[in-house]
Amino acid sequence: MIAACLCFGLLRALATEAVAEQEKGGQQFHIAYETNGGINSILNPAKATEQDLPIVLESPKRAGYNFVGWYADPEFRTHITKIETTGDKTCYAKWTLQINANQSVQDYPYQMREEQFRLKDLNYQFFFALDTPGNPRTRISDLEEQKYSSEYQCPQGLCLTNDYIIVSSYALEEDALGALTFYDRKSGKYLITFGMEANSHLGGIAYDGEYIWICHSNTKKLEAVSYPFLQRLIAVSSQNFIDITACFRQYDVELIPSCIACYDGRIYVATHHVYTPASAFVYRFSGERLIKCDSFLLPSKVQGLAFDEQGRVWLSRSYGRMRSSELDVYEDTQTLRAHLFTPTAAVEMPPGSEGIALSDGLCYILFETASYKYLEGSDGKGTCNYPIDKLLMLDTESLWYD
């Protein structure tokens, strides 16, 4: 009898304590997780109270897939990273297949013309240590680590210096900043992101030895920012992201710039036309303004422009997520003028090639097809079946082998 009373008293005390705790923490609610084939993190709670808010959602795991994010609806319209309100909820996990860049190159259905090379037959490799902006494997962690103002970055421009590999990207979300992402030149390690103008189709970038030049493919202006200034910021900053939208000077040009290259003391600026030849204007920088000194035509669909040490002109050309890209090479600008539609060498590649850069016998090629817009077809125009999420490095000498 005494034991029963003690047991009853203990249960009553526990119940009273639970009620007090519930009153203190608020009404308990439940959280369900639809992992869609994945294994949930043990850190994601099944029950919570108002006192627990906000709850940061941890990523589940699924072999062979990239976790894209948690969503509040099964149609994956409302992306969530944390729970901030009470009430029963269901979180839905979204996945994409992991990208195999080499498989995309090898399996792509080439339709090579007689005078073309196929990329898969040439000597190439990938810079595996470097994760490009908007990469589906890292876009969630990049946002959590505050590397970008939007996880949906679309890579566009590419530039090499002695110190850095620099990639430009525009944000696919309205009012979110684009980015210049800096990586260590040798290791590919991420260093810092500089925030760029919002709502701009950020394009090509180039380095002239003193300034980084940036194309915004919606105005007739170039932007320039001091390279030593950016180096100082990288050296002293403990942040992953710095908004430098107020740190540029703007210069007028006579076309809407898409891609850009600096060579032999001049700045080559090109526009992008889909079906007709495009234009390239050549400028000298006086320190105060850009002075036009030449112009010539380019073939259509040019996305990237670069020069090698021999003065050869390299063009990255692409349009559409199901159409081949092309890498065209001309002996020099005079050959380009005289033989616009018959390059010295042409390489067929999978879709989506963007910026290119040349150094030490390698042509670095950036692709945009791993971004949300092309991989998951967020714009409603379909997906790319052969995405490439890594910086590709082509041995330029493999174009001239017998």
Secondary structure, 3-state, 263-317: ECCEEEEECCCCCCCEEEEEEEECCCCEEEEEEEEECCCEEEEEECCCCCEEEEE
Q: How confident is the model at residue 112 (pLDDT cuts 50, 70, 90)?
A: confident
Nearest CA to 28 out of 90, 91, 86 is that of 86
- Are 260 and 111 in the same domain? yes
- Are 193 and 279 in the same domain? yes
Q: Which tokens sit at 56?
A: 């940061």
Q: How confident is the model at residue 18 (pLDDT cuts 50, 70, 90)?
A: very low
Cα distances from 301 to residues 109, 259, 319, in angstroms, run 20, 11, 6
**112 domain-assigned:** yes
Residue span of the structural domain in which 255 resides: 101-399
Select from 73, 97, 121 the last residue of a domain: 97
pLDDT of residue 4 exceeding 70: no
Cα distances from 240 to residues 11, 148, 167, in angstroms, run 52, 8, 15
91: CATH: 2.60.40
- Are 224 and 369 in the same domain? yes
Query: 198 — phi, psi (to 5°)?
Result: -75, 155
Q: How many domains does the chain have?
A: 2
**15 domain-assigned:** no
Beta-ladder partners of 166: 159, 182
- Are 278 and 368 in the same domain? yes
136: CATH: 2.120.10
- Are 258 and 186 in the same domain? yes
Cα distances from 119 to residues 150, 314, 397, in angstroms, run 32, 15, 13
- Are 199 and 258 in the same domain? yes
Select from 81, 97, 113 the last residue of a domain: 97
**pLDDT reported for residue 6:** 40
Q: How many CB atoms lie within 10 A of CB 315?
A: 26
**pLDDT reported for residue 8:** 44
Assessment of whether the complete model's pTM goes beyond 0.85 = yes
- Are 333 and 308 in the same domain? yes
**pLDDT reported for residue 21:** 47
- Asked if 291 and 237 touch (Cβ cutoff 8 Å), the reply is no
**pLDDT reported for residue 3:** 44
What CA–CA distance (Å, rounded) separates 213 from 203?
10
Residues 310-325 have a mean pLDDT of: 96
- Are 85 and 175 in the same domain? no
Percent of residues, the chain, with pLDDT higher than 70: 93
Nearest CA to 192 out of 152, 244, 155 is that of 244
**19 domain-assigned:** no
- Are 357 and 291 in the same domain? yes
**Range of lowest pLDDT (222-226, 240-244, 377-381):** 377-381
- Are 31 and 139 in the same domain? no
- Asked if 197 and 215 touch (Cβ cutoff 8 Å), the reply is no
